[in-house]
């Protein structure tokens, strides 16, 4: 497959990010489609933000490739949501699998790693598969919001992503949780029913718990630890060091 060659220089990316800072997510998506498609893709974990972006892309450019990193540990409700999205929009989100099945992976490591080495588990079953999936692409769309974590707070609407050799586009960066659910309600966007059962943020089932009223919406992810990110959205410098 053809290697990725970025059309935009860092200063052009910074200029685009400043220009798009105050526009709607739909306008950000139209810019991304006009600039990068068909070498544009989106990764989604089927969170409410991702479902909003799928709704928007269905109207703007439904042929953008959308993938889900199927770790083998996702909730059944998450997998069923993929089918509901397909029926609603005619968009079949593509599963990207790790090299090893869950059984093979746990056999290789003498058991599950998610409770003892969660960073390695995330790296092996999410980061590495995404690196393979993006070969030949120039940009990817994420559904992060800047108010979710410290790493996301310092992101740009458009930014270089040295970890994957792409331009990263974050259309919902300035949205709030309220903005997301207002859009879902207004447009009847399909969403994961676990959100109605005190799961505001949903990842793999072994590492996701419901949260109590008043808690941070990501407090149920790797609960009881300092870990708040799987690694996909941790910003790296071009030398590979993380911040």
Task: Return the active site residues.
Answer: 230
How far is the C-alpha of 104 from the C-alpha of 126, rounded, in Å? 16
CB atoms closer than 10 angstroms to residue 225: 10
Burial letters for 24-45: b for 16+ Cβ neighbours within 10 Å, e otherwise? ebeebbbbbbebbbebbbbbbb
The angle, 0 to 180 degrees and rounded to 10, between the axes of the packed helices 25-36 and 10-20 is 150
Q: In what order do the strands lie in the sheet with 139-141?
A: 94-96, 65-69, 40-43, 139-141, 166-169, 158-161
SS3 81: helix
Helix-strand-coil split of the chain, %, nearest 5: 40, 10, 50
Q: Rounded to whole angstroms, how far apart are CA atoms 155 and 29? A: 17
**3-state class of 34 per DSSP?**
helix
- The residue count of the chain comes to 243
């Amino acid at each position: 497959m053809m290697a990725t060659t970025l059309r935009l220089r860092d200063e052009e990316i910074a200029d685009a990010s400043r220009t798009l800072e105050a526009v709607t997510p739909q306008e950000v998506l139209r810019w991304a489609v006009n600039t990068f498609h068909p070498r544009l893709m989106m990764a989604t974990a089927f969170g409410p933000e991702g479902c909003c972006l799928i709704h928007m892309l269905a109207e703007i450019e439904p042929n953008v490739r959308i993938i889900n990193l199927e770790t083998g540990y996702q909730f059944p409700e998450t997998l069923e949501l993929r089918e509901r999205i397909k029926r609603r929009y005619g968009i079949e989100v593509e599963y990207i699998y790790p090299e090893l099945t869950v059984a093979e992976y746990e056999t290789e490591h003498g058991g599950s790693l998610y409770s003892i080495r969660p960073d390695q588990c995330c790296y092996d079953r999410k980061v590495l598969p995404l690196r393979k999936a993006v070969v030949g692409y120039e940009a990817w769309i994420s559904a992060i919001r800047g108010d979710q974590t410290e790493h996301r707070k310092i992101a740009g609407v458009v930014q270089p992503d040295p970890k994957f050799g792409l331009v990263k586009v974050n259309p919902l960066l300035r949205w709030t949780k309220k903005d997301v659910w207002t859009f879902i309600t207004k447009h009847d966007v399909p969403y994961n029913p676990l959100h109605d059962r005190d799961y505001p943020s949903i990842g793999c089932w072994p590492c996701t718990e419901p949260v109590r009223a008043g808690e941070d919406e990501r407090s149920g992810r790797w609960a009881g630890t300092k870990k708040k990110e799987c690694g996909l959205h941790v910003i790296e410098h071009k030398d590979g060091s993380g911040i």
